[in-house]
Structure 1
Amino acid sequence: MGITIREPGEGDFFSWLALYEDYAAFYGRQLTDQGALLVWSWLTDAAHSERGLVAVDDEGALVGLVHFHDVPRPLEGDRALHIDDLFVLEEHREQGYGRTLIEAVAGLGAGSGIRVVQWLAKPEDSDARGFYDEIADASEVVVYRLRPQDA
């Protein structure tokens, strides 16, 4: 089994969209057409900060994706790559696709002098957390989101 990781191309839109819809459904979120088109426009615009990679199986089918962006770390005086979305189709999990996607992000970072790759995980997602614990250290930081003023 060979795992190919590459940037998404224009001909990948519908395959990428199917993956991204599955990702949204996995998290109980509704992906709108407008939202999907916006994210796709980011991924295909070399000037945009959001970047993406896709995992391709031996038959050429897209089976995974990762979206990420560069973030400054002022106290450390450096930058990190923050993974926003990571998803592999269920039937392709535990075959190295997720690890290879994360390693590809790390490789891109290293090529730009960025040594830190970080992401968030839901505490109750024990399958993902088990995998992440094999390759990364959990942070002790709690993420807060300001409540909207109209709430």
Structure 2
Amino acid sequence: MSITVRALGDKDFFSWLGLFEGYSEFYKSELTDQKALQVWSWIIDKNESLTGAVAVNDDGDFIGFAHYREVPNTLTATRGLFLDDLFVSPDSRSTGVGRALIEFAKDYAATRHLTTVQWLTAADNETAQRLYDDVASRTDWVTYEIEL
């Protein structure tokens, strides 16, 4: 199976939605039509920082996606890329799709002269962490959150 990774486009909504439903289910987050449409509008709006890429198999099926955005790095006075979401369909896992999506994000960042690519993952997502430990350096930072 070959994998093609490309930027998400205006006509990709319904194929992307199937993957986004799987992503929401994986993280046990209820997905409403309103949420899906809001996220999609951010991805395709050129005035928003969030954008994304999709992995496609030989049959043209969407098998994974990545959502990312540029962020300032204040301590270095540079800009980096934050990988908000990375998802691979269950039947395509361990086939190189996740790695291909990360490489696409890395190339995207490099062409824009960004200095880092960073992301978070769930502490219990050990399968993903095996890939992440192979392609990146784990940091010492601890994440905190306040819900409003």
Same fold (TM over 0.5): yes
The interval holding the TM-score normalised by the smaller chain is over 0.9
CA distance in 2 between partners of 1:47 and 1:6 (Å): 20
The residue type equivalent to 2:4 in the other structure is: T
Letter in 2 for 1:68: Y
Give runs of aligned pairs for residues 1-151 of structure 1, distance below 5 A. 1-148=1-148
Distance (Å, rounded) in 2 between the aligned partners of 1:120 and 1:73 = 16
CA distance in 2, matches of 1:82, 1:144: 17
Task: With the length of structure 1 as denominator, give the TM-score of the two structures.
Answer: 0.94
CA deviation after TM superposition for structure 1 residue 11, in Å: 2.4
State the alpha-carbon separation in 2 of the partners of residues 146 and 19 from structure 1: 28
Structure 1, unaligned stretches of length 5 or more? none
Partner secondary structure for residue 102 of structure 2? helix
Q: Aligned equivalents of 1:110 and 1:126: distance in 2?
A: 28
| Equivalent residue letter for 2:104 | A
**Alignment length, in residue pairs?**
148
SS state at 1:28 partner: coil
Q: Is the 8 A contact 1:106 1:115 kept in 2?
A: no
List per-residue Cα deviations over 1:83-142 (Å, max 9, x = no partner): 111000011011111111111011011001013100001111111111111111111111
Q: CA deviation at 1:2?
A: 1.7
Aligned partner letter, 1:116: T
Name stretches of at least 5 consecutive residues in structure 2 with no aligned partner. none
